[in-house]
Amino acid sequence: MKKFFTIAAVVAGMLVCGSAFAQEVVAAENENQAEVTVQKPYKVYCEIKGTRLLFSEKMNVDFDFGQFSSWWSVNRRLADEEGKAISFNSMLDAANYMARRGWELEEAFVDPRVSNGSSTDSYYHWIMSKMVTCDEEITEGLQTVGMKKGK
């Protein structure tokens, strides 16, 4: 019971602190200026999941920004300006693409898949982060195959 209250107190503290520091009001320098509300930056995450394509040197790479989509959805594939899926040579190729757009690598790990006792394929998971001041900045400079252009 003591553990429950400790965990509840920690979670409540995180919620209070997280919402209390989300924005800051900047006072006007003189009476002709209005006060401005400035959003403080916060960290967001993206998971890059990759597998090697069968009989290919390319990778099948999906991007998860926390958006709702089924695992098989095309909304997890990044697209170019014409809306065509971008193919990546490797996980490093995908990470470099994201780094050019302000994302930083946090963690990388491999999830080996086993079939009949022998390893057949592996899923690569790379967690990246970026500082933003609003949720619209999460996919700034990026679009998925399912996104409408100009959105």
pLDDT band at 4 (very low <50, low <70, confident <90, very high): very low
List b or e across 42-69, with b for residues whose CB sees 16 or more CB atoms inside 10 angstroms: eebebbbbbbbeeeeeebbbbbbbeeee
Domain ranges of the chain: 2-37, 41-137
pLDDT digits (tens, 9 = 90+) for 57-73: 888 899 998 876 655 55
Which segments within the chain are labelled E, that is strand? 23-26, 36-39, 42-52, 59-64, 104-115, 118-132
pLDDT digits (tens, 9 = 90+) for 71-125: 555 678 899 988 899 999 999 999 999 999 999 999 999 987 755 555 457 789 9
With a threshold of 0.75, does the pTM exceed it? no
